[in-house]
Amino acid sequence: MAFVTTKQMMALADRGGYAIGAFNVENMEMVKAVIKAAEQMEAPVILQTTPSTVKYAGLSLYYANVKAAAENVKVPVALHLDHGNSYGLAIQAMYTGYTSVMIDGSKELLEENIALTKRVVDACSAVGVPVEAELGKVGGKEDDSECNDPGYTEPEDAVRFVAETGVQSLAVAIGTAHGIYKGEPKLDVDRLSEIRKRVDVPLVLHGASGVPAELVQECIRRGISKVNFATELRIAYSEGLKEYLKKDPNVFDPKKYGAAAMGYVTELVCQKIALCGSQGKA
């Protein structure tokens, strides 16, 4: 049984100078593929679902899939609500059995983001579920949610936000964006160091698909303890499936192309775990 919260794994990563890979999953195949990679790499891992993914199949289905898969492995596995977009959804995820919750009030004004996050933290801490929040705005498109006016996290605001909300981890906006980058992303890593110096909770990097490996590692060196990957997994899954169907267009057994898609995702996740430095940390 290795179904755990994100609290201890992130605290250990924070102290150990590496990061936990957090991978967005959409279906049973992706769940299995990510957990298989974590097992192969002996790495703690976070699987996460966004609100649009939850809309697709329901919180309980992802919970049941991840819990069942986690029970068969020795590595620590956490299930996290990514970009929870309302108090209600955050609380439902907690009740369903998610072991970690993000409330994303980053579109709100600072005061409102603080108030919303604090409400979720108060409810979740009663049952020991850690909460991630976002301050500043990560740009780009993540499922149904699009941000066209990104804004960097102000270190001073981060200090106040963490003190007033009691949040367990903080997603920072330093120039990454969700989805595909048009050019090479330019990250404000000095801002990250400044936030790290002033805030003592683990920090989270969103929008890591397409960020060059050295840049992700630089962010980890400067204090990131959780790195989110979604778009690259979706691409890998789709590529695996398309390749299989191209080779054998007459196939009608979903297990066949499902296995091919899983193989692509597992391979990618192993690479990302190595990049995060969490290999062998289970």
Residue 31 touches ligand 13P, criterion: CB under 6 A: no
Asked if residue 56 lies in contact with residue 236, where contact means CB atoms within 8 angstroms, the answer is no
Tokens of 131: 């909460």
Binding mask 166-195 for ligand 13P (x = CB under 6 A): ------------xx----------------
Beta-strand runs (E) in 51-178: 77-84, 100-103, 131-135, 139-142, 145-147, 169-172, 177-178
Minimum CB–partner distance for residue 78 and ligand 13P (Å): 14
Residue 152, token pair as written in the block: 């960097």
Among 29, 39, 82, 132, binds ligand 13P (CB under 6 A): 82
Is 82 a known active-site residue? yes
Of 32 and 83, the one with the shorter C-beta distance to ligand 13P is 83
Alpha-carbon distance of 30 to 37, in angstroms, equals 11
* Contact residue for ligand 13P among 29, 39, 134, 142 (CB under 6 A): 142
For the sheet containing 139-142, what is the strand order? 145-147, 139-142, 177-178
- Per CB under 6 A, contacts with ligand 13P among 193-212 are 206-209
User: Are 138 and 150 spatial neighbours (Cβ–Cβ below 8 Å)?
Assistant: yes
Q: Is 230 in the site for ligand 13P (CB under 6 A)?
A: yes
Q: In this chain, which of 106, 231, 266, 278 binds ligand 13P, going by CB under 6 A?
A: 231
Catalytically active residues, by annotation = 82
